[in-house]
Amino acid sequence: MMDILTLKKLSVAIALGVMLMGSEAVTVSAAENAASPETQTTPIDSRIQEFTLDNGWKFIVLPRHEVPTVSFYTWADVGSAQEVKGITGIAHLLEHLAFKGTSHIGTTDYEKEKVALEKVDAAYQALIDETRKGNKADMEQLEKLNRDFQAAQEDAGQYVVPNEFGMVIELFGGRGLNASTSSDRTDYFFSLPSNAAELWFFLESDRFYEPVFREFYKERNVVTEERRMRTESSPIGFALEELLAAAYKAHPYGEPTVGHFSDLQNLTPQNVMHFFRTQYVPASMTSVIVGDITLERAKELAKIYFERIPASPKPEPTRTVEPPQNVERKLIFHLQSQPTYIVAYHKPEMMHPDGAIYDAISSILSDGRSSRLYRSLVRDKQIAVAAEGFSGFPGEKYPNLFLFYAMPAPGHTNEEVAQAIQEEIQKLINEPVSEAELTGVKNRAEAGMLRALTSNSGWASALGQYQGMTGDWRNLFRQLDRIRAVTPADIQRVARETFKDTNKTSAYIETLTTENE
């Protein structure tokens, strides 16, 4: 059982993106956030306040004074979908570099360090120029340039206070420190004892005001290791990357958030600084503050710390629209792995009028032991040990994928589970779902929201994600109304429109045998 759960979690983790540290930080999915309309009229809703600084940086504040702690959540409207060919992985690398400090944090003498860092970049450029000569490169010269580059890095390293940014947060008693990057956004979060709240205003504003990408080339290697771990040493990670590449021929959702290997090897500090200057503008940023702090104090500190960041126009949204697929795509893998079947269908973005219908379908198919896929494939037919279908892969901001997967039980095949999933899809199209099933969807959405909103950090991430994804945090509370409005006929219509062979990309992971090696 444990192994299956691990695999399930693994696929979900990949769906959600990549983290600064491999930890169990929870990302609340939109479906889990579905809200109760009652909450709209409860006092807590009226306690949620918002303000926007002149430069465009938005703040949402929810005072909760029960426990003297505060949780912070920053949503940068910058994901790997903002990348173009050649710089894939840059949004995620930038997330890592955002922990390297600033001119005030992570250095013993920034003036000297700055000069040393310029020398590192010059030495790197010289090395790259010579390397690019290929066969004509002078080997001795290459070795010398490499030594120069190492020496320059060592020289700059003498001014570094390693990981001071994270260290200070730990020192002040911070908890839950992490960040994550997905195709849609990058988020940064931690909690502090409330008397240390000013520390967040200082650190968060400083890193987006004057970030210093020190130890750049080493962090690039760390991120490359992350790719090796998630994608190149994991059958499921590899298969999902290939599936996205097959399902998308135009839209950047087809590119891996962690980046292609060769791009990671070649990204420069100048690339990242340019990406930062154009993408991390205040108008793209939302910070949520929940806990033992007053609106007045939050506003005062926000002005002092964040107003120094200059305004700049928000970059153009991603312009590429994935064209209709119009052809069935099928991938067959032969890996050192037990069989797994994955199938994906294109569907609209989260805020499309049909958005909640897909959430309802996902809930009917996958939530709990009464879910249709578990009941049919695992419990009754006993041909799979796990089966689920969910919406929102790899993101939700743009049209994305509805993804099913099933792990065949020992002795059963991908073809069998593919067939059984197809039968469940036909059932969705041909027969209206029962009122009882729909009631269950609504009840679970309501309870799920109640549970997500019992902690400062749960509140902060839910408000930040709804503001970031939909442009208005109030949609958190409207989500349940949207789910409540779903009818059996809606589900049939959407299933019919979506689950067509010409809109389908499937992946068959088969066990490698000596014949097909």
Partner 1 sequence: MKNLIYSLLTAALCLSVNSVSAAEQGKPVTNYKEIQLPELNSMQIQKPERYVMENGMTVYLLEDHEVPLIDLSLLIYTGSRWEPADKAGLAEIIGEVIRTGGSKKFPGDELDDELDNSATSIEIGIGRNEGSASINSLKHNFAHSLEILTDLLQNPSFPEEKIALCKQEIAGGIVRRNDDASGICSREFNRLLRGKDSPYGHQVELTTLANISREDLIQFHQQYFQPQNMILGVWGDFNATEMKKLLADTLGQWKKGTATRPAVPGIDMKAAGTTGVYLVEKTDIEQSFIRMGHIGGLQSDPDYYALILLNDILGGGFSSRLFCHIRTDKGLAYHVGSSWGAGMDIPGTFIVSGSTKLASTAEFIQAAREEVERVIKEGVTEEELQRSKDTFLNGFVFEFDSTGKIVTRLMAYEYYGYPADTLEHFQENIAKVTCADILAAAKKHLKPQNMLILVVGNPEKFDKPLTEFGKVTPLDITIPGMN
The strand pairing partners of 384, in sequence order, are 408
The answer to whether 349 and 510 are in contact (CB under 8 A) is no
Closer to partner 1 by CB, 105 or 243: give it. 105
CA distance 142 to 146: 6
Verify binding: residue 450, partner 1, rule CB under 8 A.
yes
Q: Which stretch binds partner 1 (CB under 8 A): 239-247, 315-323, 437-445, 471-479?
A: 437-445
DSSP assignment of 349-380: -TTSTTHHHHHHHHHHHHSSTTSHHIIIIIII
Nearest approach in angstroms of CB 59 to partner 1 is: 16
Verify binding: residue 455, partner 1, rule CB under 8 A.
yes
Nearest approach in angstroms of CB 202 to partner 1 is: 6
Nearest approach in angstroms of CB 323 to partner 1 is: 34
Residue of 112, 299, 444, 500 interacting with partner 1 (CB under 8 A):
444
Pairing of strands 49-52, 58-63: antiparallel
Closer to partner 1 by CB, 153 or 279: give it. 153
Closer to partner 1 by CB, 144 or 334: give it. 334
Q: Which stretch binds partner 1 (CB under 8 A): 164-172, 181-189, 346-354, 488-496?
A: 164-172
Provide Rg for the chain, Cα atoms.
Answer: 24
Nearest approach in angstroms of CB 353 to partner 1 is: 26
Verify binding: residue 17, partner 1, rule CB under 8 A.
no
The answer to whether 285 and 52 are in contact (CB under 8 A) is no
Verify binding: residue 256, partner 1, rule CB under 8 A.
no
Verify binding: residue 93, partner 1, rule CB under 8 A.
no
Report which residue type is found at 213. Answer: F
Q: Binding to partner 1 (CB under 8 A): which residues in 170-189?
A: 170-175, 177
Closer to partner 1 by CB, 7 or 469: give it. 7
Nearest approach in angstroms of CB 331 to partner 1 is: 17
Residue 43, exposed/middle/buried by CB under 10 A (0-12, 13-18, 19+)? exposed
Could you tell me the CA-to-CA distances from 146 to 120, 153, 264 in Å, in that order?
11, 11, 19
Strand order in the sheet with 384-393: 329-335, 504-511, 340-347, 400-408, 384-393
Tokens of 278: 């154009």
CB atoms inside a 10 Å sphere around CB 214:
27
Closer to partner 1 by CB, 116 or 301: give it. 301
Verify binding: residue 479, partner 1, rule CB under 8 A.
no
CA distance 180 to 99: 12
Closer to partner 1 by CB, 397 or 412: give it. 412
CA distance 366 to 219: 38
Nearest approach in angstroms of CB 308 to partner 1 is: 7
Closer to partner 1 by CB, 77 or 164: give it. 164
Residue of 33, 180, 205, 503 interacting with partner 1 (CB under 8 A):
205
Closer to partner 1 by CB, 331 or 335: give it. 335
Residue 384, exposed/middle/buried by CB under 10 A (0-12, 13-18, 19+)? buried
Verify binding: residue 198, partner 1, rule CB under 8 A.
yes
Verify binding: residue 483, partner 1, rule CB under 8 A.
no
Q: Binding to partner 1 (CB under 8 A): which residues in 328-367?
A: 335-338, 367
Verify binding: residue 516, partner 1, rule CB under 8 A.
no
Site size with partner 1, rule: CB under 8 A: 102
Tokens of 406: 């099933």
Verify binding: residue 440, partner 1, rule CB under 8 A.
yes
Verify binding: residue 295, partner 1, rule CB under 8 A.
no
The contacts of residue 1 (CB under 8 Å, 6+ apart) are none
The contacts of residue 87 (CB under 8 Å, 6+ apart) are 263, 267, 271, 275
The answer to whether 444 and 36 are in contact (CB under 8 A) is no
Closer to partner 1 by CB, 131 or 221: give it. 221
Q: Binding to partner 1 (CB under 8 A): which residues in 235-254?
A: 235
The answer to whether 408 and 341 are in contact (CB under 8 A) is yes
Residue of 57, 201, 208, 333 interacting with partner 1 (CB under 8 A):
201
Tokens of 36: 């109760």
Verify binding: residue 517, partner 1, rule CB under 8 A.
no
Residue of 262, 454, 513, 516 interacting with partner 1 (CB under 8 A):
454
The rounded Cα 329 to chain-centroid distance in angstroms is 26
Q: Binding to partner 1 (CB under 8 A): which residues in 98-157?
A: 99, 104-105, 157
Tokens of 251: 């839209």
Verify binding: residue 229, partner 1, rule CB under 8 A.
yes
Q: Binding to partner 1 (CB under 8 A): which residues in 368-407?
A: 368-371, 375, 378-379, 382, 384-386, 407
Q: How many residues does the chain have?
A: 517
Nearest to residue 207, comparing CAs of 184, 186, 221? Answer: 186
Residue of 220, 251, 347, 397 interacting with partner 1 (CB under 8 A):
220
